[in-house]
Structure 1
Amino acid sequence: MRNTARWAATIGLTATAVCGPLTGSALAEPAHTPASLYAPSALVLTVGRGEAATAAAPERAVTLSCAPAPSGTHPAPGEACAELADADGDFDALGSETGVMCTREYRPVVVTVSGVWQGQRVAYERVFSNDCMKRSHGISVFSF
């Protein structure tokens, strides 16, 4: 019984001594990799019914990552990232589609954005009077 415990301890210590330094270097990512050249841009966008995010449960949420390449669950990540880049990450400065005719129906829709845009923390909330108004603003970004 003592020999079994001694062998188990010896094998465990040997494996730790031999493999320990290898795991540390295998998990470390070199600082010169291409991914480290980009400031992170990863956002979570939600939409819900109501006049404030605190009063509205999100009906839908998507993710949008723009660096190093557009990706996420957003239906059009490439277009949304390009639109955000043109607006320099300012959600209030996003373009509106011209010539859109919306009804004056008041069914408030709240959109929230949280995450990081080019390394800077983002927290944004905007209430639109209805779905049509939401779709006409931030054409690609808020189309989900």
Structure 2
Amino acid sequence: MITHLPAALLSALLLAAPTAGPAPTTGGAPATTLRLTVTGPAPATTAPTPEGAAPAAPASRTVILRCDPAGGGHPRAEAACADLHASQGRVDRDSDIACVLLYDPVEVRAEGVWRGRPVSFAREYGNSCELGARTGAVFSF
């Protein structure tokens, strides 16, 4: 399960979004800063210990993506920004890529601003292939 952003971080991100007047810009384009989180897929199934301990919970990883210009801690920032720009800021979009029907859930979250507009996105995908097909490079980290 993904937890919500700490109130202080969410406030800082939302304060970066304008409430009136023009959006902040970098090089002529409104600012884009997103905090992206991926949880899962679950670790490979392991044999239980004699004590019956369960496998570890899926790992969660988070990066900051900035666009216009591309940057932040995202390893594929340019591709992720290009995918967001192509979809006019939509994180999830239609895809004709076929993925195997294997349930290995991946939860994702995107919070922040895209070109000055607030973004709050959370979704669970059936597996990593489905995630990549529907979100492109946005969560490829």
Normalising by structure 2, report the TM-score.
Answer: 0.63
Identify if the C-alpha distance between structure 1 residues 74 and 129 changes in structure 2 by more than 3 Å, giving closer, same or farther: same
2:102 and 2:26 mapped to 1: Cα distance?
Answer: 46
Select the structure with the greater relative contact order (CA < 8 A; seq sep ≥ 6).
Answer: 2
Q: Is the 8 A contact 1:97 1:137 kept in 2?
A: no
Structure with higher helix content = 1
Runs (4+) off by over 6 Å: none
Q: CA deviation at 1:106?
A: 1.5
The reply on whether 1:71 has 2:71 as its aligned counterpart is: yes
Q: How many residues align?
A: 102
Tell me which residue corresponds to 2:89: 89
- Local SS of the residue matching 1:106: coil
Show structure 1 runs of 5+ residues with no match. 1-33, 51-55
Cα displacement string for residues 12-37 of structure 1 (whole angstroms, at most 9, x for unaligned residues)? xxxxxxxxxxxxxxxxxxxxxx7473
Structure with higher strand content = 2
Cα displacement string for residues 39-96 of structure 1 (whole angstroms, at most 9, x for unaligned residues)? 110001101138xxxxx876111111002x1001111111111110010001233x53
1:83 and 1:37 mapped to 2: Cα distance?
Answer: 19
- Local SS of the residue matching 1:126: strand
Aligned pair partner of 2:29 in 34, 38, 53: 38
The reply on whether 1:132 has 2:121 as its aligned counterpart is: no
Identity of aligned residues (%): 34
Normalising by structure 1, report the TM-score.
Answer: 0.61
- Local SS of the residue matching 1:91: coil
Identify if the C-alpha distance between structure 1 residues 58 and 115 changes in structure 2 by more than 3 Å, giving closer, same or farther: farther
Tell me which residue corresponds to 1:8: none
